């Protein structure tokens, strides 16, 4: 009887653990099986998900995948002042504060919508023939770097001509990107490869590939210190020194709740 009770407790703990882990995805995400080559699922959030800010104009831009629009918020009085229609499932956007243009990656339209920040109107729509998943702007060179996860590449958009000028092959399923405009280096997180591709913006070449662990999904650059921070699904943060493009340090993150469940299960099994 005691053994049955222990087994019941163990199963309950496992169900609770995985329930917490997947609850948000079940509620707010849709699985997209657009490329069976890798036999993986990509998720996009249908709630307002991505935003960026032009600190010079004090306006915030929020992508709304559900109704294919971008909300414009005046940060002076915290009010929505406009809503701009874009392509289907706008899933990422980035602002060039210097030119005051906003670049929106439309997941289902395979396109980029360009919004003029002065009047909030779409001035151009660029077809990629690839699915855009993330986008980053180099405000100094006025180039946009667009991640295409199913084609394992990054498309480069010239803000002067509003045209794609190059495509750079990276690792498998790139899903996040960041730029340091002062060094003209671009950092791409390749989820399935578990790597970071470092692209030199001067010649659009991958100059280094770094192993960073399981499924890197978020990346940010400190422009001043030239340090790059990568989070992966293995509960790790990898810190990269941008001067040498080598891994400086690895931090373990968010392990508390996971190890509580693991400890409880182990204790029950050993008791």
Q: What is the pLDDT of residue 34?
A: 39
pLDDT exceeds cutoff 80 at 260: no
Q: What is the mean pLDDT of the chain?
A: 84
Asked if 49 and 63 touch (Cβ cutoff 8 Å), the reply is: yes
pLDDT exceeds cutoff 90 at 50: no
The backbone torsions φ and ψ at residue 270, rounded to the nearest 5 degrees and listed phi first, read -85, -20
Provide the token pair at 178. 């960041």
Report which of 140, 137, 110, 146 is spatially closest to residue 125, judged by C-alpha positions: 110
Confidence bin at 235 (pLDDT 50/70/90): confident
Mean pLDDT of 152-161: 97
Integer-rounded Cα radius of gyration of the chain: 21
Q: What is the pLDDT of residue 255?
A: 59
pLDDT per residue over 3-16, tens digit each? 655 555 656 655 55
pLDDT per residue over 76-114, tens digit each? 999 999 999 999 999 999 999 999 999 999 999 999 999
pLDDT per residue over 199-224, tens digit each? 999 999 999 999 998 899 999 999 99
Confidence bin at 37 (pLDDT 50/70/90): very low
Provide the token pair at 156. 């480069």
Q: What is the pLDDT of residue 48?
A: 72
Confidence bin at 225 (pLDDT 50/70/90): very high
CA distance 85 to 110: 15
Mean pLDDT of 228-239: 90
Asked if 95 and 102 touch (Cβ cutoff 8 Å), the reply is: yes
Asked if 124 and 82 touch (Cβ cutoff 8 Å), the reply is: no
Q: What is the pLDDT of residue 261?
A: 47
Residue 245 CA from chain centroid, whole number: 20
Higher-scoring residue by pLDDT: 266, 96: 96
pLDDT exceeds cutoff 60 at 267: no
Q: What does each C-alpha distance from 91 to 108, 129, 162 come to in angstroms? A: 9, 16, 20
Mean pLDDT of 133-161: 97
Q: Mapped to the 3 state alphabet, what secondary structure does the chain carry?
A: CHHHHHHHHHHHHHHHHHHHHHHHHHHHEEEECCCCCCCCCEEEECCCCCEEEECCCCEEEEEECCCCEEEEEECCCCEEEEEEECCCCEEEEEEECCCCEEEEEECCCCEEEEEECCCCEEEEEEECCCCCCEEEEECCCCEEEEEECCCCEEEEEECCCCEEEEEEECCCCEEEEEEECCCCEEEEEECCCCEEEEEECCCCEEEEEEECCCCEEEEEEECCCCEEEEEECCCEEEEEECCCCEEEEEEECCCHHHHHHHHHHHHHHHC
Q: What is the pLDDT of residue 30?
A: 36
């Amino acid at each position: 009887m005691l053994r049955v009770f222990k087994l019941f407790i163990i199963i309950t703990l496992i169900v609770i653990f995985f329930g917490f882990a997947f609850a948000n995805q079940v509620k707010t995400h849709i699985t997209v099986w657009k490329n069976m080559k890798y036999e993986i699922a990509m998720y996009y959030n249908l709630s307002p998900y991505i935003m960026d800010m032009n600190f010079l104009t004090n306006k915030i831009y929020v992508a709304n995948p559900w109704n294919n629009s971008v909300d414009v918020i005046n940060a002076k009085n915290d009010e929505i002042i406009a809503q701009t229609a874009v392509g289907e499932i706008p899933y990422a956007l980035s602002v060039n504060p210097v030119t005051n243009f906003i670049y929106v990656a439309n997941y289902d339209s395979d396109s980029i919508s360009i919004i003029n920040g002065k009047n909030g109107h779409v001035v151009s729509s660029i077809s990629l023939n690839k699915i855009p998943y993330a986008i980053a702007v180099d405000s100094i060179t006025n180039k946009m770097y667009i991640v295409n996860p199913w084609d394992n590449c990054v498309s480069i958009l010239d803000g002067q001509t509003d045209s794609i000028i190059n495509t750079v092959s990276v690792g498998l399923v790139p899903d996040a990107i960041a730029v340091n405009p002062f060094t003209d280096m671009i950092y791409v997180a390749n989820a399935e490869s578990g790597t970071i591709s470092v692209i030199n913006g001067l010649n659009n070449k991958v100059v280094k590939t770094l192993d960073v662990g399981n499924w890197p999904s978020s990346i940010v650059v400190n422009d001043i210190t030239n340090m790059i921070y990568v989070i992966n699904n293995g509960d790790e943060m990898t810190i990269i020194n941008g001067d040498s493009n080598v891994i400086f340090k690895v931090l373990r993150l968010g392990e508390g709740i996971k190890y509580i469940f693991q400890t409880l299960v182990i204790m029950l099994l050993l008791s």
